[in-house]
Amino acid sequence: MLLRNISVDCVIFGFEGEKLNVLLWQADPRLLMQTLRENEDYEQLRILYDSHPSLQTDSTWGLIGAHAPEESDLDEYAQEITTGCTGLTNVYLKQFHTFGDSRRVPYYRVITVGYYALINPRYHNLHTSTLTRRMQWFDINHLPPLCFDHREIIITALEHLRENVQYHPVGFHLLPEYFTLTELQTMYEVILGEKLDIRNFRKKIQKMDFLLETGEKQKNVPHRAARLYRFDRQNYDRQLKEGLTFRI
């Protein structure tokens, strides 16, 4: 049975080029209601969906999320939601905040647990669930109309991400397996919203032994090919045990 007062919303961040994007969706109202009628006590849940903004108009979007089943662990359910709506497995997923304002959903009291995920859209083919009407990436600086307080949830997720990337190497989840130092710096600048000094950044990042040269260079680029690097997770974990302090 779904918990009417508790939901999970996932802010899925994707970095591509020089933009940080958020994956938003719209559910298919007909298929969603059909599924609810088949699996739940529809009358108890009807108030949650009959007036849901993203189900009433094509112009309103929402975060990928759902009300939590009574028997589910929230962390596992967040992973299940992410996988079910995108087809992606084993993505980086972090719980960052609980939203409990009594007025956040006008017609019912709902507490939402927020998670954010990090992926690189260029290297993942998304597979939407059967309940999806539309799913699309949006530039975080140019978001469409959103339901309820989803804009606030996205902003809060970004604030947590900005803090997290400075002290933990989570930003590598947004990059391809092999990347240039320019791509790495651009990713940090886009997330942090500020320019970083090239010389200082490279000096700092190259001191970290877990950033390894691959011996390869970019291919098919209209400029001088840059060296490619990769993140060595095993080496990072070893250094962490030895007292490494990660700081960008």
The domain locations on the chain are 2-151, 167-241
What is the pTM assigned to this prediction? 0.89
Beta-sheet pairing, 211-217 with 227-231: antiparallel
Residue 177 Cα distances to 39, 44, 99, 134, 188, angstroms = 41, 47, 34, 29, 16
Q: Supply the pLDDT for residue 114.
A: 98
Distance CA(100)–CA(76), nearest Å, equals: 21
- One digit per residue, the tens of pLDDT, for the chain of length 248 reads 778 889 999 999 999 878 999 999 987 767 666 766 666 666 666 666 666 666 667 789 999 998 898 999 999 999 999 998 888 888 899 999 999 998 888 878 899 999 999 998 877 778 877 778 889 999 999 999 999 999 999 999 999 999 999 999 999 999 999 999 999 999 999 999 999 999 999 888 877 778 889 999 888 888 888 999 999 888 888 887 877 777 88
Class of domain 167-241: mainly alpha
Q: Supply the pLDDT for residue 17.
A: 78
Q: Supply the pLDDT for residue 209.
A: 79
- Which of 80, 51, 52 lies closest to 65 in space, CA to CA? 80
Q: What SS3 class is residue 31? A: helix
Q: Give the domain 2-151 fold.
A: Nucleoside Triphosphate Pyrophosphohydrolase (3.90.79)
Q: Supply the pLDDT for residue 99.
A: 97
Residue 84 Cα distances to 71, 78, 79, angstroms = 18, 10, 8
**Residues 93 and 64 sit within 8 Å (Cβ to Cβ):** no
Q: Supply the pLDDT for residue 126.
A: 81
